[in-house]
Structure 1
Amino acid sequence: MAGGWSRDGAVQEQIDSTVEDALKRARSELPRGESRRHCEECGDEIPRARREALPGVRLCIVCQNECDKRRTAFSGYNRRGSKDSQLR
């Protein structure tokens, strides 16, 4: 059911687009290339199993966890078509 000026299925298209954008962003952040033997942050050796499981890894597990904690949440775009969301 369409509401206001939107056509049928518009809400689902917005949801799908938001999910696709999030997937693209997450995939772009994945490490690529050859893994480092030593962590860029602390210099500790990165275990072989981690290097093989995640090609392109640059940080040890401890430093990666700290990096993940510092990372801020991504809010994305306001894709809602309602007049209220556009006026805020």
Structure 2
Amino acid sequence: MATGWAHDGAVQDQIDSTVDDAVQRARSQIRRGESLKFCEECDSEIPEARRKAVPGVRLCIRCQVEYDKTHSAAGGYNRRGSKDSQLR
């Protein structure tokens, strides 16, 4: 496949790098340690079942859902740029 100035395997290198970044980002968000008994946000009690199921939990389910809505994965960024930029 003709890739212009890119070396052989450059596309695969970009894919690998994107996957590595996503894995690193996901691992950095994993909580560790003792779970809290009360939510950091609303101070309501976190059920024991949740504390056992999710090590290091800091938020009750309601606050966790809200957190997830506002901090959803943005999809990262396109390392190759847009097609328009490649055509110019």
- Normalising by structure 1, we get a TM-score of 0.81
Tell me the secondary structure at the aligned position of residue 49 of structure 1: helix
CA shift for structure 1 position 64: 0.3
CA shift for structure 1 position 79: 2.0
CA shift for structure 1 position 5: 1.0
**Deviation string, structure 1 residues 22-79 (Cα, Å, up to 9, x no partner):** 1101110111111001111111111111111111100001100001111254353442
Residues 34-49 of structure 1: pairs in structure 2 closer than 5 A? 34-49=34-49
CA shift for structure 1 position 8: 2.3
Counterpart residue identity of residue 50, structure 1: R
- Count of aligned positions: 86
Tell me the secondary structure at the aligned position of residue 43 of structure 1: coil
Percent identity over the alignment is 64
Contact kept? 1:2, 1:9, Cα under 8 Å: no
Structure-1 residue corresponding to 2:70? 70
- Normalising by structure 2, we get a TM-score of 0.81
